[in-house]
Amino acid sequence: MYNFFQIKKKDPKSRARLGVLRTAHGEVQTPAFTPIGTKATVKVVTSEELKFWGAGMILANTYHLWLKPGDTLIHNAGGLHKFMGWDGPIMTDSGGFQVFSLGKPDRKFAGHSEGRKPFSVEVSEQGVSFQAGDDGSKQVLTPEKSIQIQSNLGSDIALILDDVPGYPATRKHIVKSINITYGWAQRARKHHEKITAESVNPGQKLYGIIQGGFYEDLRKKSLEQMKSIGFDGYAIGGVSVGEPAEKMYQVLDFTIPHLEEDKPRHLLGVGTPEQLVAGIAKGCDTFDCVIPTRNARHGQLFVSAKLGRGYKVMNISRKKYEKDFTPVDNTCDCYLCTHHTRAYLRHLFAANELLGIRLATMHNLKFYLNLMAKIHRALKYESFGEMVKNYKERKR
């Protein structure tokens, strides 16, 4: 029996580590950035391109695929891997965050799930009910239902359904939230064991999700609850919900030291390049975020800074690039940077040509995956501390 997660090397000056995730669809070298394929596609790029650029795993969205085209259809197609033409590992989220973000909070209850009125979101010990965004139909998502959907999708790593408190949220609300998540986690684990025993998806691993807002004692309570159930790995949730970055780092500081060393840690919804570097230094192994693809659609490109001092963000729509016939990033080996100029990309965005979005997305994803490759080399040769310093300097 193979070990699902193995640590290959630890950084002597931080909590960072090199490791490997072994799944039914191949290995993932960690630390790893996981591009988001929300609706069975990483926007405007192909699975073959992702593999060529070095992506080890993608993350797909349980909520969206459940509602359209439906997890049963995908199961009948042979599972998500065959359906989208990606033969590498896939992680699926639980749908909890999407339900959380269905509607804008009322000002009176900003950041509180009880304040979200537009889509009638109701959280209870049973599960969560809501109106679907497309047609307004009433839907109910339970811990068991979320696990069943993810099993039908055939993902390699599934996540439990969790209640996601916003920011800011009262302590009273967060206490209620983690207790609901704990109850859901127990039911999710039990259902996952049942369907795994039935060989529905025997190789699928299950992660617990740690909540607790930005209270140290509540984070510790949540992680102890997850540890008591026993999961294959952990996801740290409830961050990237509008809080300052320093608060997210605090969560990692008083969460990660209390987790089992031999289990992988995924940081949900993070983040910018400096947040990835900091998260790895604090002991996280995998990450997912929409930033590289979302920013690309708005003409914002990540570009290496001089002398390796982190990076900068280029807004290609600015007038100064109109006659700039240099590459977007002369250190980058993506298709955009080796074939086109800043002036050409600016023209594509100004003309609303779809190729502009595609080229920018290709570049940003390659930038993120190249960053992970640099981090791997730095950890291997014990120079990661210099990277951490450079990205902190960039932040300042």
DSSP string, 214-233: T-HHHHHHHHHHHHHH--SE
Q: Return the ∠ at Cα 44 (arms to 43 and 50), rounded to 5°.
A: 80
Q: Tell me the C-alpha distance between 195 and 147, whole Å.
A: 9
Is 213 labeled as ligand-binding?
no
Alpha-carbon Rg of the chain, whole angstroms?
A: 21
User: Known binder of ligand: residue 93?
Assistant: yes
In 10 A of CB 191, how many CB atoms?
A: 20
* Residue extent(s) of CATH 3.20.20.105 domains in the chain: 5-92+143-289
Token duo for residue 293? 């693809």
Q: What's the CA gap between 21 and 32, in Å, rounded?
A: 10
Whether residue 204 is annotated as binding a ligand: the answer is: no
Residue 289 annotated in ligand binding: no
Closest C-alpha to 181, from 116, 125, 97, 102:
125
Q: Residue 272 carries which side chain, given as an amino acid letter?
A: T
227 is written with which tokens?
Answer: 């540890």
> Residue 192, annotated ligand binder?
no
The pLDDT assigned to 110 comes to 42
Is 334 known to sit in a ligand binding site? yes
Residue 381 has a pLDDT of 97
Q: Which tokens hold the place of 249?
A: 């780092």
Q: Which residues are catalytic?
A: 93, 288
Q: Is 337 annotated as a binding residue?
A: yes
Q: By the 8 A CB rule, do 336 and 328 touch?
A: yes
> Measuring CA to CA, which residue among 359, 351, 237 is closest to residue 297?
359
Per-residue pLDDT, 133: 65
Per residue of the chain (396 residues), what is the pLDDT tens digit? 469 999 999 999 999 999 999 999 999 999 999 999 999 999 999 999 999 999 999 999 999 999 999 999 999 999 999 999 999 999 999 988 877 776 544 443 344 444 444 477 889 999 999 887 667 788 999 999 999 999 999 999 999 999 988 888 999 999 999 999 999 999 999 999 999 988 778 899 999 999 999 999 999 999 999 999 999 999 999 998 888 999 999 999 999 999 999 999 999 999 999 999 999 999 999 999 999 999 999 999 999 998 778 899 999 999 999 999 999 999 999 999 999 999 999 999 999 999 999 999 999 999 999 999 999 999 999 999 999 999 986 654
Q: What is the pLDDT of residue 104?
A: 46
Q: Looking at the domain 5-92+143-289, which fold is it?
A: TIM Barrel (3.20.20)
94 is in an annotated binding site: yes
356 labelled binding-site residue: no
Question: Which pLDDT score, from 0 to 100, does residue 201 have?
Answer: 80
Query: 52 labelled as ligand-binding?
Result: no
Task: Give residue 393's pLDDT.
Answer: 67
